[in-house]
Structure 1
């Protein structure tokens, strides 16, 4: 794909930035929210032999590991991709996104948050849902290395919250960091997301999985954290909220879990985003109910495009007629949107609902 001709889309506006999402059709064999969520994790192949890891030394004496896809077209956008809570760059949804971008001629680079690349970071601090300094550090490095190349960004779940907060913090008062962005299954309201993970049933299973991983990281660094945290309170954490109160908040300068959730939730920042940004969310996302989405704020911002599907779970969105050969709708939409933003070309599809920035796509199964 030739990326030589470009068009500046950063000014946004409903009259200039049109794009069409292909209608999402959940397969007959995978219609439930939890099935989609689990299948999204276990049925996405993750071939990672093509990834090359680079270690970046940070100014505070720590490090970040980033993973590069091979170069494609040096005129094409470079796309930074952020993973979710306790994820990493070799997760299936990350690798499938890298491959979808490569199919369109774009090069991806994945960012591992501190302590997520398979090696524990050096400093007491970790990462959290509102930590944008490391993202700013990586963005600055990419901009210095590629001063004229278009930079775009994608964030999944927690990574999407970080990305939206970062974009909102920069707002209209600075040169846009990225020329376009996509955020998938974002917990816009972190307190509501914590509430969702405290419900009975499968959501408690998800919470237990995350909690074991997070507490395990504190155990791995207990020698350097013993004088920073009340470790007994960390070990006693029964919920994500308990852990955030005992560890996340104290390690990162918040008064407690609620203070952390309030200051870090991306819903407080989306109104200030001035970069064409695609938001994809499922109404049945078990990590955040659709009622917690900041819909009026999104609708009022002409730089935002929301695709809200009835089904899809959390970072699921699988399609396909057979369980052993699924296809990945969300990766396709990500690549389509970013190609459109870069080329300034209008994408049409008679089987889809036209989307304009600020519009909410009903995308119901009966369309």
Structure 2
């Protein structure tokens, strides 16, 4: 039993965790690093359960101020064309004195001169961040997590905004879904080319955590990312959705709130949806719950027969099996949106590249401490700093047991590919 907000912390990983070596030559492993970088979880005792923690996120909290410059990318995928926005954190006073009223607070577009000056051969670590459903670079939970890294002066960071989010414009009828890995893939490829000496790291929240995990599974050993953290991943979307629909609070508060956020997003892009799709936008904008939105938009857009088929196909619990970079996954067991019943304990227990860290308290992207701080920022920053500055990133040693996707029974010629999906997507690697 938790006492005055003190949450229990558990770690799940393979019996033989991924072998690593410090830059000082000392042998270690991924589990040891995670245990050392995840601090005790002491939360505000007045927010005593997952509902209280989650609902408190709706209060007006300014959070750490971060400034961004926005770059618009034209998608390089033939089938999923269109544009998307990436916001780069900036600390240069010359770049922080502007803001565009059409964008989120403290955000402005790069000027043409600034865009032409992008790129360097420095070796500062670069963090690629994915936000939650209908969010963006302005989200408070995101800024709490990355502000210490940016303020330290040792990190660079950018946020890949899902199409249409954070006041970005769409130029086709495509928004995004939980399988929408192509924009983050393109961004990472661009960063690798533009900053060839920077080690790249990933960080995802909620739906963005699902997208990032799917990306990591699809890429396997070929991703340029050196390590990643995913926070409050819903993992098995069909389970989390059913759990929300099965309770009064889940259905009438969370499903309604999530549905309203997607309805508002669709309303902002109604002209494009009317122009480029056959979606009945009048019907779409009359809906109330998230699963109704997914049925009315995601299914016809991506060809799924039902929202349940979409949820099963877009879930990232199987993709976790194919991750081949050090990954710390953080979830609260009392999260009412990313249900405890969806947590991939079994998958984490067979992949030495992953550690699933669960706290008994915290809600969905809550983890509020006394005084308003957010606990999740501490393990995120600690882990990333440890991996970037203290671990020899070329020292991975798992005896090659999991280098390739090797699930199945060779004796009978069977094979299981964790990233094989029913929605066939050419990756454009």
Q: With structure 2 as the length reference, what TM-score do the two structures score? A: 0.71
Tell me: CA distance 1:235–1:118, structure 2 relative to 1, closer, same or farther (3 Å). closer
**Could you say which residue in structure 1 is the equivalent of 2:74?**
57
Please give the per-residue CA displacement for 1:118-146, whole angstroms capped at 9, x wherever unaligned. Answer: 13312101011111011111111111111
Q: Aligned-pair distance for 1:29?
A: 2.2
Instruction: Return the alpha-carbon distance in structure 2 between the equivalents of residues 90 and 222 of structure 1.
Output: 23
- Of structures 1 and 2, the one with the larger relative CO (CA 8 A, separation 6+) is 1
Instruction: Return the alpha-carbon distance in structure 2 between the equivalents of residues 307 and 41 of structure 1.
Output: 25
Q: Which moved more, 1:252-261 or 1:180-189?
A: 252-261
Secondary structure of the corresponding residue to residue 121 of structure 1: coil
Q: Which moved more, 1:295-304 or 1:45-54?
A: 45-54
1:192-341 maps to which residues of 2 (within 5 A)?
192-198=239-245, 199-201=247-249, 204-226=252-274, 227-231=277-281, 233-235=283-285, 237-320=287-370, 325-341=371-387
Report if aligned partners of 1:250, 1:256 keep a CA contact under 8 Å in 2. no
Please give the root-mean-square deviation of Cα atoms over the aligned residues, in Å: 2.4
Tell me: CA distance 1:302–1:49, structure 2 relative to 1, closer, same or farther (3 Å). closer
**Could you say which residue in structure 2 is the equivalent of 1:343?**
389
**Could you say which residue in structure 2 is the equivalent of 1:153?**
202
Tell me: CA distance 1:44–1:75, structure 2 relative to 1, closer, same or farther (3 Å). farther
Q: Aligned-pair distance for 1:344?
A: 3.5
Instruction: Return the alpha-carbon distance in structure 1 between the equivalents of residues 319 and 390 of structure 2.
Output: 26
Q: What is the number of equivalent residue pairs in this alignment?
A: 330
Runs of 4 or more consecutive aligned structure 1 residues displaced over 4 Å after TM superposition? 71-74
Structure 2 unaligned blocks of 5 or more? 1-16, 21-27, 93-120, 393-429
Please give the per-residue CA displacement for 1:203-230, whole angstroms capped at 9, x wherever unaligned. Answer: 5322212212322333444444345224
Q: Aligned-pair distance for 1:65?
A: 1.5
Instruction: Return the alpha-carbon distance in structure 1 between the equivalents of residues 189 and 316 of structure 2.
Output: 21
Secondary structure of the corresponding residue to residue 81 of structure 1: strand
Q: Which moved more, 1:98-107 or 1:159-168?
A: 98-107
Q: Which moved more, 1:74-83 or 1:159-168?
A: 74-83
**Which protein has the larger Cα radius of gyration, Structure 1 or Structure 2?**
2
Q: Aligned-pair distance for 1:238?
A: 4.1
1:49-128 maps to which residues of 2 (within 5 A)?
50-59=67-76, 62-70=82-90, 74-104=122-152, 105-128=154-177
Is 1:34 equivalent to 2:34 in the alignment? no
Please give the per-residue CA displacement for 1:241-296, whole angstroms capped at 9, x wherever unaligned. Answer: 22211111211232331221111100121001011001110110000221221211
Is 1:16 equivalent to 2:65 in the alignment? no
Instruction: Return the alpha-carbon distance in structure 1 between the equivalents of residues 81 and 345 of structure 2.
Output: 40
Q: Aligned-pair distance for 1:89?
A: 0.5
1:190 equivalent among 219, 227, 237: 237
Report if aligned partners of 1:55, 1:64 keep a CA contact under 8 Å in 2. yes
Structure 1 unaligned blocks of 5 or more? 1-10, 347-367
